[in-house]
Copies of this chain bind each other. A is one copy, B any other.
Amino acid sequence: MSSPPSKKLPVAVVGATGLAGQQFLTALANHPQFEIVRLAASARSAGKKYGDAIREQSGQSRWYADGELDPRFAALPVVDSTELQVSDLAAVFTAMESDAARELEPLYARTTPVFSTASAFRYENDVPILVPGVNLEQAAPLIAEQRRARGWKGYITPNPNCTTTGLVITLRPLHQAFGVKRVFMTSMQSMSGAGRSPGVLGMDILDNVIPYISGEEKKVEIETKKILGSVAGAAIVPADMKVSCTCTRVAVMEGHTESVFVELARAASPEEVRAAWDSFGLGANGFLTRGLPSAPRRLIITHDDPFRPQPRLDRDNEAGMATTVGRLRKDDALDNGWKYMLVSHNTKMGAAKGAVLVAEALAADGLVG
């Protein structure tokens, strides 16, 4: 860290020792705009070097994210997240349990933008749940409202639940072009979505499907309507659609698979549906034309091979930042009905890396730094 002062925007990662926090480190390693200058975690890790904080007495490493731990991060001291100073930072990326987030994120937001993977503030009226390319237009008015009503200089913008992400990315272009009226979704979620504390036991998931993920369905139903909603004044009006979910867990490492049945307001041909997906984010003013560092080349990749998408083959498309769709079929049980399958990387676009991409977009809009 004896290098000349960086021109990059200084940021902190809170909850840095956990799995989601580690994914922030991976998403921000060698980032062209942001530079991690502070790492925070619970009191137990505070005071240690980060590299030591994630090593067990047995010598076992607890680094679980992709690739090797960046040695510069290993050398950073871990700060107690309740004592973290953020007023000189451009942004804080948080990966905390919901209770801790509820307490600490508002403290950070007094001075600094907070990009959060926690659900603590997702359902507040003045907090947008931001998904890259989907609803960033909700950011500016709601951030203004947060600042006004709460007296903050910063703000809080959470990610959605990782299961919501792929769903809203595929629904948004359909909603825009044809109107979405009803959605029935069954997820087959990966184990990484449950984290490691306690996480999913091998004994419970091998040769099995777990038919329930506590709280998940409600989150997806509410978040989907909020994200696809519209801004009226300083608040979001949820989209006028019905969303019904069943969320399950399967023996997959990474990548959530979702089976979707959707009723549209207007008739569409298969070619029109595909065109809506294939062009999503492209075109003049499209999200993908902004040249953001973590953006994929395509938000949605569509497959004709009926055996796709598969989580193992498609989760890493576009470095985990694309949602892959396939098995598009008319659904005769619904008016203007369609069904399809999607795969979305729950710990990349669906978590830390998605939050970083949101920060990049807001930075380009002058809302960060």
Contact surface of A with B, Cβ cutoff 8 Å: 58-61, 64, 182-184, 186, 188, 191-192, 196, 198-212, 214, 242-244, 246, 248, 250-253, 257, 259, 261, 304-313, 326-327, 331-334, 337, 339, 341
Chain B residue numbers with a CB within 8 Å of A243 are 333
Determine if B250 and A59 form an interchain contact, defined as CB atoms under 8 angstroms apart. Answer: no
* Residue pair B188, A206 in contact (C-beta under 8 Å): no
Say yes or no: B200 contacts A307, CB within 8 Å. no
* A200 in contact with B202 (CB, 8 Å): yes
Q: Are A207 and B333 in contact (CB under 8 A)?
A: no
CA distance A206 to B199 in the complex (A): 13
Contacts of A327 in B (CB 8 A): 211-212, 246
Contacts of A331 in B (CB 8 A): 244
Chain B residue at minimum C-beta to C-beta distance from A205: B202
Contacts of A205 in B (CB 8 A): 202, 206
A204 neighbours in B (Cβ, 8 Å): 202
Query: How many copies are assembled?
Result: 4
Verify A202–B251 contact, CB threshold 8 A: yes
Q: Contacts of A199 on B, CB cut-off 8 Å?
A: 201-203
In contact, B333 and A59 (Cβ under 8 angstroms): no
Contacts A184-B261, A202-B200, A333-B182 given; does A211 touch B251 at CB 8 Å: no
Contacts of A208 in B (CB 8 A): 252, 310-313
Docked complex Cα distance between A310 and B202 (Å): 14
B residues near A206, Cβ cutoff 8 Å? 191, 202, 205-207, 251, 253
Which chain B positions have C-beta within 8 A of A244? 261, 331-334, 337, 339
Contacts of A261 in B (CB 8 A): 184, 244, 246, 261
A-B contact pairs, 17 of them (CB 8 A): A58-B214, A184-B261, A188-B250, A191-B203, A199-B202, A200-B203, A202-B202, A207-B311, A208-B311, A208-B313, A209-B310, A211-B308, A211-B310, A211-B327, A246-B339, A251-B251, A259-B259
**8 Å CB contact of A307 from B183, B212, B242, B246:** B212
Cα A191 to Cα B208 with chains together (Å): 11
Q: Which residue of the partner chain B has the closest CB to A331?
A: B244
Separation of A308 and B59 alpha carbons in the complex (Å): 10
Which residues does chain B contribute within 8 Å of A252, judged by CB atoms? 207-209
Task: Report if A306-B59 is in contact (Cβ < 8 Å); known contacts: A202-B202, A244-B333, A246-B341.
Answer: yes
| A245 CA / B195 CA spacing, docked (Å) | 31
Closest B residue to A340 by beta carbon equals: B246
Residue of B nearest to A60 (CB): B307
The docked-state distance in angstroms from the alpha carbon of A176 to that of B60 is 31
The interface residues of chain B lying within 8 Å CB-to-CB of A339 are 244, 246
Q: How far is the CA of A204 from the CA of B191 in the complex (A)?
A: 10
Report the nearest B residue to A243, measured CB to CB: B333
- Per the bound structure, the CA–CA distance linking A331 and B200 in Å amounts to 28
Whether the pair A188, B307 counts as a contact (CB closer than 8 A) is no
Given A201-B202, A209-B257, 18 additional A-B pairs, CB 8 A: A59-B305, A60-B305, A183-B333, A184-B333, A188-B250, A191-B203, A199-B202, A200-B202, A206-B251, A207-B253, A208-B252, A208-B312, A211-B259, A211-B306, A242-B332, A244-B331, A246-B339, A246-B341
Given A253-B203, A333-B182, check contact A61 B211 (CB 8 Å): no
Shortest CB–CB separation between residue A335 and chain B, in angstroms? 11
Cβ of A201: which chain B residues have Cβ within 8 Å of it? 191, 196, 199-202
Cβ contacts under 8 Å, A251 to chain B: 202, 206-207, 250-251
